[in-house]
Structure 1
Amino acid sequence: MKLPYVIRTVLLLSILFTTITSQAQQNEDLLNILIKKNVLSQQEADSIRADQAIKEQAKKDKANQHNITIGTRALQISGLVQTEYQGFQQSGFNNSFSLHRARLDVKGDINDNWNYEVYTEFAGTTKLLDAYTTYKIADYLKFTAGQFKVPFSLESLISDSQLDFIDRSQVVNALAGRSADVIGNQNGRDIGIQIGGSFAKLNEHYLFDYTFGVFNGAGYDVTADNNSRKDIVGRLTVHPIKNLDISGNFYNGVGFYGTPAKNQKRNRGGFDARYVIGGLAIQAEYDKGTDGAIKRDGWFGQATYFVIPKRLQLAAKYDTYDPNKIVKTDRTNYYTGGVNYYFNNWARITLDYIDRREEITQVKNNIIETQLQLTF
């Protein structure tokens, strides 16, 4: 027999007050017990759940009038810390520890179609890496404006925390706006606008991704362009089967570089591919570039394999680069062997050994590197 309405109401209020500091699961368990004992109907219990949810949300809104909470869609904060040790075979170079990267990433969604990201580097000289917003009209059409990665080179576009090796390849560092580029190390970034998206869906995945952008060509974290010419870049990726990506890209522009510095041609082109099957991942990339009158090119191939799933990964890489096609004796070849151990999803340690070989005169300049990475 059901209890009179007044008695049931008093009993219900007593339970709510005595459990107000308890966890949500405890409240749910109590409600289920009351339903089984016919103290409450299912409809009454659902009404209580709804009222409680409204009250909890009101508390959050009162505490935070702008509806911004760390970890929600509106504001997400994450970071990256990489501590590195380098041991040099070559005389004149000191073995040393260094803070490779220390970064803070702030991003979020303005609404379902509009998001933003601000990414800052604190290791060495503080630099603003990314500061952009993206508006999505549909999967096939997205607009991005601000400072962000130039869509050229697969390895350049891979996040620093997701690289299989500590360092990027020679050709990528030289031709993708990184450490050996004629315009200086721009961390692969520039200021501009781009459109992109995915189209032609088949078997629950898109066949094509595309990106086309217009950039200053002067690099990142700068106040103004150093020439009136705007650089253009495009990238197209095909996914013929699941987990296989094949891409081609181009970059046409003018850079301000040289001795003395002047506006000169700075063009690039290349293609790359990556295939993942189980614990095995295979990746290769070829890039070529023209800087003024100098033509350069290079390529790399690599393979990684998890011998212990999600824990222990072995890696091998061949990396070759020719900084001047006219000179026949300046190509360098790197052979890299590596081990990655993942403590969990946030921490890993990497050990790489790089065997460097010059085309004519062999220099004893091999390197052993290890890096501890923490993400949050």
Structure 2
Amino acid sequence: MKHNYFKYLLVFALLFPALISKAQQNDDLLNVLVKKNVITEQEADSLRSDEAVKAQKKKDAETANQHSITIGTRALQLSGLVQTEYEGFQQSTKTNTFLLHRARLDVKGNISDDWNYEVYTEFAGVNPKLLDAYTTYKIFDFLKITAGQFKVPFSYESLVNDSELEFIDRSQVVNALAGRSTDVIGNQNGRDIGAQLTGSFAKLDNHYLFDYYFGVFNGAGYDVTTDNNNHKDIAGRLVIHPIANLSIGADFYHGIDQFIVGTAKTATNNLRNRQGIDGRYVWNKLSLTAEFDKGTDAHLNRNGWFGQAAYFVWSNKLQLAAKYDTYDPTQTITTDRTTDYTGGINYFFNKWAKFTVDYVDVREQTTQIKNNLFEAQLQLTF
């Protein structure tokens, strides 16, 4: 019996340095031990089985931590997002209300190690809407090809996942210039149909120094069946990571799109251009974000910017946030700029449940209207 204990101890001592190596190296070592009659083939198979069980348990634990369902060997993953919101308006002409802000189902998976897909659907509102439906093929880290319907690579805040926003609503300038709620082409949720090249290159200290995006799009928006003109729009974005946790980005959008100008009754093809710069830095519990965007719609020039900070005051549970957000919809008019001051509190029950409270102090440039806003939102992801 003591001989067996010694033998297993010897095997463990020989195997321990290899435990952090690849499974193939472990298997080769076991084969050598069998050949030298240190252990039997049956004992080697038992050790291989134990390692396989441990590896599977670790994989299952990682999948469980993602809080998603994985089906099959090609990783069909189902996840979702539900955001229930209450809006309280200071303005007497608006009705305080509960609303279903977002209710989404996400289906994604891998066709192969280098080929994946995603289908993302929104069920909140009158009719379901297809948000994303695309496939991406990775040739190299510096070259990936994406085709279908997906987010246009313009504006840092527009590209942030809805579940990861530090405030309930996006900034005024992003809503106006990134194909969202107040854009001249209507609310396209920042998306369009087209194709793009993306990639990362110049690795430095375990992170890539540059990320790039370049895409060609219809310009007609998302969840549509046909383009509305023969012009194709282009968008590009370059992000630099000079140090870990710091991102500095610059982007552009150039298009000829259909929208109504001034008092016209019908939409016509007009110039729709955008340029922007942004930055984000995360240090321990503190995050700092800023973005400036400008755009031209037909003959109208618009611009705006925001700066925000968020800090976890209690572990990873309670986060305080503040934001300065200003937007000028018509630069030729000097009295129509609006500035929002937002204070927010985020409470994270866990990784999948968050409660957010925001208060927005709205300041018009000339005539101040009592239109401040109180918002509360419960977010669940699965």
Q: TM-score, normalised by structure 2?
A: 0.82
From 310, 315, 323, the counterpart of 1:317: 323
Letter in 2 for 1:275: Y
Q: How does 1:278-357 map to 2 (within 5 A)?
A: 278-357=284-363
* Deviations, residues 303-362 of structure 1 (Å, cap 9, x unaligned): 000001210000000000000000110000000000000000000100000000000000
Task: Name structure 1 gaps, 5 residues minimum.
Answer: 2-40, 58-67
Alignment check: 8 A CA contact 2:235 2:254 kept: yes
Q: How does 1:84-123 map to 2 (within 5 A)?
A: 84-123=85-124
Alpha-carbon distance, 1:92 to partner? 1.3
Change (3 A) 1:46 1:334: same
Q: How does 1:165-180 map to 2 (within 5 A)?
A: 165-180=167-182
Aligned counterpart, 1:268? 274
Give the SS at the match of 1:343: strand
Aligned counterpart, 1:363? 369
Aligned counterpart, 1:4? none
Aligned counterpart, 1:154? 156
Letter in 1 for 2:118: E
Aligned counterpart, 1:199? 201
Q: Segments of 4+ in structure 1 off by > 3 A?
A: 48-54
Alignment check: 8 A CA contact 1:348 1:374 kept: yes
* Deviations, residues 186-235 of structure 1 (Å, cap 9, x unaligned): 00000000001001111111110000000000000000000000000000
Alignment check: 8 A CA contact 2:70 2:78 kept: no
> CA–CA distance in 2 between the matches of 1:310 and 1:331?
36
> CA–CA distance in 1 between the matches of 2:147 and 2:45?
46
> CA–CA distance in 2 between the matches of 1:76 and 1:316?
35
Alpha-carbon distance, 1:367 to partner? 0.3
> CA–CA distance in 2 between the matches of 1:74 and 1:176?
32
Aligned counterpart, 2:251? 249
> CA–CA distance in 2 between the matches of 1:285 and 1:144?
26
> CA–CA distance in 2 between the matches of 1:69 and 1:232?
36
> CA–CA distance in 1 between the matches of 2:96 and 2:72?
39
Alpha-carbon distance, 1:156 to partner? 0.1
* Deviations, residues 287-309 of structure 1 (Å, cap 9, x unaligned): 00000000000000000000012
> CA–CA distance in 1 between the matches of 2:378 and 2:256?
38
> CA–CA distance in 2 between the matches of 1:185 and 1:45?
64
From 210, 213, 232, the counterpart of 1:211: 213
Q: How does 1:8-27 map to 2 (within 5 A)?
A: none
> CA–CA distance in 1 between the matches of 2:123 and 2:219?
24
Change (3 A) 1:42 1:283: farther
> CA–CA distance in 2 between the matches of 1:42 and 1:139?
44
Alignment check: 8 A CA contact 2:106 2:121 kept: yes
Alpha-carbon distance, 1:240 to partner? 0.6
Alpha-carbon distance, 1:46 to partner? 4.0
Change (3 A) 1:257 1:207: same
Give the SS at the match of 2:350: coil
Give the SS at the match of 2:330: coil
Task: Name structure 2 gaps, 5 residues minimum.
Answer: 2-38, 57-68
Q: TM-score, normalised by structure 1?
A: 0.84
2:151 is the alignment partner of 1:145: no
Give the SS at the match of 1:174: helix
Letter in 1 for 2:228: N
Give the SS at the match of 2:340: strand
Q: How does 1:57-136 map to 2 (within 5 A)?
A: 70=71, 73-124=74-125, 125-136=127-138
Alignment check: 8 A CA contact 2:80 2:103 kept: yes
> CA–CA distance in 2 between the matches of 1:74 and 1:223?
29
Change (3 A) 1:69 1:347: closer
Q: Whose radius of gyration is greater, 1 or 2?
A: 1
> CA–CA distance in 1 between the matches of 2:43 and 2:74?
30
From 30, 42, 45, the counterpart of 1:44: 42
Give the SS at the match of 2:158: helix
Letter in 2 for 1:145: A
Alpha-carbon distance, 1:255 to partner? 1.0
Letter in 2 for 1:248: A
From 212, 223, 227, the counterpart of 2:229: 227
Alpha-carbon distance, 1:47 to partner? 2.5
Aligned counterpart, 1:28? none
> CA–CA distance in 1 between the matches of 2:233 and 2:72?
37
State the identity %.
68
Change (3 A) 1:107 1:320: same
Alignment check: 8 A CA contact 1:71 1:77 kept: no
> CA–CA distance in 2 between the matches of 1:242 and 1:49?
40
Letter in 1 for 2:45: S
> CA–CA distance in 1 between the matches of 2:276 and 2:122?
28
Give the SS at the match of 1:172: helix
> CA–CA distance in 1 between the matches of 2:145 and 2:286?
34
